Every structure is written in structure tokens, then in C-alpha cells.
A and B are shown apart, each in its own frame.
Chain A
């Protein structure tokens, strides 16, 4: 390539969104789940990193599997910030559906991520670590994993939902500010 094209803005925007999301979610987790500030920041970092990684993997798989005209749209959006050709009639419906899908899938990933994290760290409130023989410890470990994945604590779920709502609203606000900056100023 004669002129290098670097995705610098992608990286900067993602770092900004991650920092904002981690800050807001850590505060919500700290107030509602009664954990220390340090732990809440660590939890928020972990689940946000998990959501970001799953998002990237989804993007890579998607851009491999899409048919050609949709791929042209994606390329047009990434390089030129617009969609190619005329916009389809149900454009607004598509945007709303995509936004909801992103919100709810982020919530689910974060919730399951939090439960998995607590299982790995053995710090969920109901299960106490039992210092016994290896065999019992191994079955307790798989039990813990099973419980983490199958059962859901409602208080924890609403906390993660609230935290997710805060961080996504902040991200939407930042995107709206950028939209204003590009079009009005």
C-alpha cells in the first residue's frame, strides 16, 4: 500500500467507551452489590472486556459470512460514514432493532460473565470454599460452575441490567455529541 490506512479512531473510541462504561458500571456494582470499590472496578473491567471481545469476534464472523451487497454497505459505512445507495424503507426499524439487539446481548454477556467470574474467583456469597481433598474440591468446582451458569440471582441480574443501561446511555450520549460536532459545528 502506498498510503497506510490505520484504524486509529477505532482504538481511541473503544478505549474511551470502555473507560466510561467501567467507571459507571463500577459505581453501580459498588452501591448495589455491597462490594468494595476495588472489587467493583475489577469486576466491571472484566465484564466489559468480555463484552468487547465477544463483540469483535461477532464482527469478524459476520463480515466473513455476509453476502456481497451487505458487505459493500459495511465497507461504505466504515470508510465513509454513510450507506451506499438509497436507504431502504424500513431503515429506522432496522436501526432500532440493531440497537435493541446490541443492548440486550451486551446485558446477557455481562450477566453470565459476572457469574462466571464469581465462580472462578470463588467469591459468590452463597458458596463457601471448602478446604478438603482433591476429589471433593474438583466436584465442588464443577458444581459451582453449574450453579453459576444455570441459576440466576435476581438482585444481581437487575444490578447488571441497570449498570448496562447507564453505560449504554453514556455511550449514546458521546455518539450524539460526535454527531453534533460533525454536522453542526
Chain B
């Protein structure tokens, strides 16, 4: 049981530390914001939204006031003689951009990071643009040059951040590029991680093609299988299966840069079907081998009919009609068992 004295102690401590020095100070706004947030948790739908938004707005104004007034948040501040470079617009700008781009809903979009410098510049320039009683006015002459440089540098920062997201977009659309080597690039750098990297997308394509190939070629009469392994038929079959597979695995931009070809060689009493997909897109070495192969063996097996299921009047030939059996191996090639940086070939044994 909590004693009354304990509660009184807490109340005293709160009164001493958290109480704002006067009603008109930035701490009031922060307290209002906390209060609004607490109220919003307790309420439902529309009122909750409203209170959450109010909470954010109070927080923004409170932080703006507090950080602008504080002396420690400037670079190079010495008493009141040297004004230093204020950090408060950037802190407030971060809160404003998080609020505008999805803060209350909890899911912050990437525009928040991209527009943060611009919003901070606007906040920093606001005192110069607001005259008496919050009317718009032209800023005084001597500050205009500084404002121009301020806006210029911040918009340039936004452009750099946007470029980062453009590159991320490209890497989502062309995931096989991540498997490659960026050492020659004049624009980007890649932090290599210790974990084993993900395989290029061609491996996914070949793996997904395997079940469909099995459907077509496994457990079929041998003559049918032989016919479909002839060059023309085989080409059509492989192309059709490749198209279907690419549609099936959530298509992205780079899919039509993986060309699937096949090759058949005879091996013993059966055939060796080699599926090969090679990367036609941007790559770091012009003459390197950027292909992945999957080899499948197609053998003849003779199905042994049971004595019980054999009809009385079957002929000798149907009992020993050969059918096909397809066995596929793992995908091999670039990015899987070959080194990712093709320049490091000399380190292989």
C-alpha cells in the first residue's frame, strides 16, 4: 500500500522541478503537449485524432521557443556578444517535417527526410519575413544575401537526400546489381557486410522454373519427351515457361534483362538439359561471365506393373514402355559459388 507521504513527496518534487517559471514560457507548451497526448490516448476516433494533432502542434511550438531562447544550442555562442549559429531551426524543422509527413499516424514517410532541410530553412527565415502582427513583409536589405545562401545550401542538401532515395529505388527495381562490384563507381559506395549476400534474381527465376518444367517433362512417355527436347520445340517450351515464371514472381523492372536459354546433350541413355540464364543489364566487367546454370538430367525408367493391376490381355510391349524422370541439381554460377567480385579470381584455389 502506497503511503500518503510518498505521494506527497512526489507532488513536491513535481512542483519544484516540472512547474514552469511563469505561465508564459515554453515549458507550458511542452506540458500542454504532454497533456493533450495523454488525453488523446484516453479518447476515441475523431477526438483522439484532434488531440493528437494538438499535442504535436504544442510540442513543435514549445520546442521552437525553448531551443531558440536557449544559448547552449548555438555553435559559437559567447555571452551576448557573439551570436553564434543557431541550431534551433533544424531541430524544430525535424519535428515539423516528421509531423507533416505522417507523424501522428506513426508511419513516417521518406519525404520527411528529404524536405527537412528546406523546412528548416523556412523556419530560420521566418523572423525576417514576418513584420508587425504577423503580416508578410520583405526582409531587410542586409539580411537578404544571407537568406539567399541559406536557402541555396538547404535546397542542395535536399537534392542530395533525394538522390539517395532515387538510388534506393533503382536498387529495388534491379536487385541483381547489389550482387555486383561497385568499386569503379564515381558516385556511390557500398558498405560490404559480413553476412552472406542474397543471390541474384536469376537464381530465383531458375528455381521457380523447375516445378513447371517438372510438370511438363516428368513422368511422361519417353517419345513425347524426346520430341519436346528438339531445338524448336524446346525453345518454345522454355520461353513459355520463362514468361509464366516471370509473371508469377512479382515482376519488377529488371526481369526482361535475364535471358533464359537451354542446351541439351545426350548422356548415357538419357539427356542432360542445361538451363542457362544470363544477365544482360549493367555490369562491372564487360567480358565477365554473368550467367547462372541449372542442369537437369532426364532419364528413362521402366515402370514395373504389379501383377494385380495388370490386365489379363495386355501385350508385352506396354509393360515395358519407358517414361521420363527428371532430376535437377542446384543453381550454380555468378553470385552463388563464384566470387561476387570477379576481380578476385586469383584468390580462388
Contacts and interface: CB of A to CB of B under 8 A. Distances in A.
B168 A1 contact: yes
B253 to A, nearest CB: 8
A60 B166 contact: yes
Contacts of B177: 75, 79
B159 A8 contact: no
A13 B191 CA distance: 19
Contact of A6 (B152, B191, B284): B191
A76 interface: yes
B77 interface: no
Interface stretch (A51-59, A89-97, A146-154): A51-59
B193 A5 contact: no
B156 A8 contact: no
Contacts of B18: none
Contacts of A6: 164, 188-191
A143 to B, nearest CB: 15
Interface residues of B, number: 44
B281 A72 contact: yes
Contacts, number: 129
Interface stretch (A23-31, A117-125, A163-171): A117-125
Interface in A41-99: 42, 45-46, 49-50, 52-53, 56-57, 59-60, 63, 68, 72, 75-76, 78-82, 84
A42 B152 CA distance: 12
Nearest to A39: B145
B178 A3 contact: yes
A42 B190 contact: no
Given A10-B187, A79-B188, A117-B148, A1 B166 contact: no
B185 A79 contact: yes
Contacts of B186: 9, 13, 81, 178
A14 B164 CA distance: 14
Contacts of B185: 9, 78-81
A112 to B, nearest CB: 14
Contact of B160 (A4, A7, A84, A122): A7
B201 to A, nearest CB: 14
B153 interface: yes
B188 A3 contact: no
Contacts of A76: 281-283
Contacts of A128: none
Contact of A75 (B152, B168, B282): B282
Chain A binding surface, main DSSP class: helix
A56 B159 contact: yes
Contact of A53 (B159, B171, B195, B283): B159
Given A60-B162, A80-B284, A3 B144 contact: no
B182 interface: yes
B198 interface: yes
Interface string B134-148: 000000010011001
B155 A120 contact: no
Nearest to A56: B159
Contact of B286 (A3, A59, A82, A117): A82
Contact of A5 (B145, B171, B283, B286): B171
Given A6-B164, A72-B282, A84-B281, A56 B171 contact: no
B141 A121 contact: yes
Given A46-B152, A122-B141, A5 B182 contact: yes
Nearest 9 Cβ contacts at the A-B interface: A49-B152, A76-B282, A56-B159, A81-B184, A80-B284, A10-B187, A5-B190, A78-B187, A3-B193
29 contacts: A1-B178, A2-B178, A3-B192, A5-B182, A6-B188, A6-B190, A7-B163, A7-B189, A8-B189, A9-B185, A10-B160, A10-B188, A13-B186, A14-B160, A45-B149, A52-B159, A56-B159, A56-B162, A56-B163, A59-B163, A60-B159, A63-B166, A72-B281, A75-B281, A79-B182, A79-B187, A80-B184, A82-B286, A84-B283
